[in-house]
Amino acid sequence: MDESIITLLFLIFAIVMFTLEIIPLSISAMIVAIGLSLTGVLTAKEAFAGFVDPNVLLFMAMFIVGCAFFETGMAEKIGKGITHFAKTPKKLLIVVMGITGLMSGFLSNTGTAAVIIPVVIGIAAKSSISRTSLLIPVALAAAMGGNLTLIGAPGNMIAQSTLNLTNQSFGFFEYALIGLPILVVGTLYFGLIGHKLLPQNNDKSETTNSVFDKQVDVNAVPRWKKLMALLVLIFTVLAMIFEDIIHVPLYISAWIGALILVATRVITEKTAMKSIDMNTILLFVGSLSLANAIQKSGAGELIAKTIINILGTSPSSYVLLLVILVISAVMTNFISNTAATALLAPISLSIANSIGADPRAVIMATVIGASMAFATPIGMPANTMVYGLSNITFIQYVKVGLPLVVLSIIVCMILLPLLFPFYP
């Protein structure tokens, strides 16, 4: 059987199993990874490469850094400051999403979520607000914030490299012309409607085996440990911001911070290891193997080209825009936005050249569509991280995130033809 067909069958299997949750998502994801290896679509090394993927290494380390931030009581202290500023749940939600979105414009989505997670859990632990009602919006705000700058998400730079083939480029804040309105609309959506779709449970019903769930007597924590946890977090974030200047990968900076915290006994080795959620890692690794198979087997390109070819050689600019946005949005919810952009950007450039459209407009639509990883917990690492700490099912995640995808597409259908017309 053709490898692309086998991959599509595993994709269908994953969608069904993730939706029904007959068995844990992490187990379903690993079944896919093993199946792709046994059928020869991927080598064993390719199928399990996710265990050493930079994103996995990044959020493993940031879970440890976040754990120290929580264990020492610094997360609770900062959380109190935020809740003092935003006293109602709606204001709190808007403030948290705003902070997350802005940070994500300059940091990785995963790194941003990992920094904010312990603060959000600290807020929820000391209030009647559901943890889930804050964690899921944090992940989605991180995704939306990635479109505020050229460096906000890896896919943005991939698109820039593709566009450079035409001797054109995007400005540093040009993505924000579309990304900022989407972030504003998305924040308002959660403030008005989205939060009602999330389980409104108290902390007791959301308790797991996470180290973030145990009660910490912050008064018993030495002052130097609190200061060390704060300083390590600050310097880790700064190292991420200036990654291109210091030439140190994000996950290396994160692991330096994590190792310092354990070496100085700010947290114990046992606590550090327990902070790493293996369910999250297994889910991500299995999902990444599916994404790799979609790219390697040609299944993704087959889907994209088949749908686009149906439109003919002279499609309406609005129809083409809608199709690009929908294809990009669907694909990015099952493979990473980086992979979706890498796969679709060259195809979009070819389409632009074949129909005489502006490459900047077509690629911009592709990038924005590929950032709409809002509807599934496997759409991006930040989604997977908060999913593991939230009391929510896969289908509930879809119910919360899918309307945001639709709203974002509507915003794009209004703004892109005005700001980036296909035929200027």
The residue among 184 and 202 whose pLDDT is bigger is 184
pLDDT value at residue 159: 84
Q: Does position 234 have pLDDT exceeding 90, yes or no?
A: no
Cα–Cα distance measured from residue 120 to residue 79, given in angstroms and rounded to the nearest whole number: 7
pLDDT digits (tens, 9 = 90+) for 379-406: 888 888 888 788 788 888 899 999 999 9
Q: Does position 304 have pLDDT exceeding 70, yes or no?
A: no
SS3 state at 209? coil
Q: pTM for the full model? A: 0.76
List the single range of 254-258, 273-277, 372-376 with lowest mean pLDDT: 273-277
Cα–Cα distance measured from residue 318 to residue 311, given in angstroms and rounded to the nearest whole number: 12
- Whether 284 and 382 have beta carbons less than 8 Å apart is answered as no
Count of other CB atoms within 10 angstroms of residue 372: 32
SS3 state at 190? helix
Cα–Cα distance measured from residue 120 to residue 118, given in angstroms and rounded to the nearest whole number: 5
The residue among 19 and 71 whose pLDDT is bigger is 71
Q: What is the mean pLDDT of residues 30-48?
A: 93
Q: Does position 206 have pLDDT exceeding 70, yes or no?
A: no
pLDDT digits (tens, 9 = 90+) for 278-301: 877 887 788 778 878 877 888 867
Q: Is 265 left (phi over 0), alpha (psi -120 to 50) or beta?
A: left
pLDDT value at residue 364: 95
Residue in this structure with the two tokens 């709190």, named with its chain if needed: 92
Cα–Cα distance measured from residue 349 to residue 15, given in angstroms and rounded to the nearest whole number: 29
Burial label, 93 (beta-carbon count in 10 A; 0-12, 13-18, 19+):
buried
Classify each residue of 23-58 as buried b or exposed e, where b means 16 or more C-beta atoms within 10 Å of its C-beta: eebbebbbbbbebbbeeebbeeebbbbbeebbbbbb
Domain boundaries of the chain, sorted by first residue: 3-38+280-419, 51-154+172-277
Cα–Cα distance measured from residue 63 to residue 241, given in angstroms and rounded to the nearest whole number: 18
- Whether 33 and 289 have beta carbons less than 8 Å apart is answered as yes
- Of 405, 410, 344, 355, the C-alpha closest to 376 is 405
- Of 132, 139, 108, 142, the C-alpha closest to 196 is 132
- Of 176, 182, 191, the C-alpha closest to 105 is 176
- Whether 170 and 160 have beta carbons less than 8 Å apart is answered as yes
List the single range of 1-10, 183-192, 347-356 with lowest mean pLDDT: 347-356
List the single range of 57-61, 71-75, 285-289, 304-308 with lowest mean pLDDT: 304-308
Count of other CB atoms within 10 angstroms of residue 360: 20
Cα–Cα distance measured from residue 337 to residue 160, given in angstroms and rounded to the nearest whole number: 14
Q: For the chain, what percent of residues have pLDDT higher than 70? A: 92
| HSE value, Cβ hemisphere, 13 Å, CA-based, for 136 | 33
Angstrom distances, CA of residue 241 to CA of 40, 108, 260, 411? 40, 9, 19, 29
pLDDT value at residue 44: 93
pLDDT digits (tens, 9 = 90+) for 83-126: 777 777 788 888 889 989 988 887 777 778 878 888 888 788 77
Please provide the average confidence, as pLDDT, over all residues in the chain.
84
Q: If pLDDT is split at 50, 70 and 90, which confidence band does 203 have? A: very low
Q: Does position 153 have pLDDT exceeding 70, yes or no?
A: yes
pLDDT value at residue 201: 52
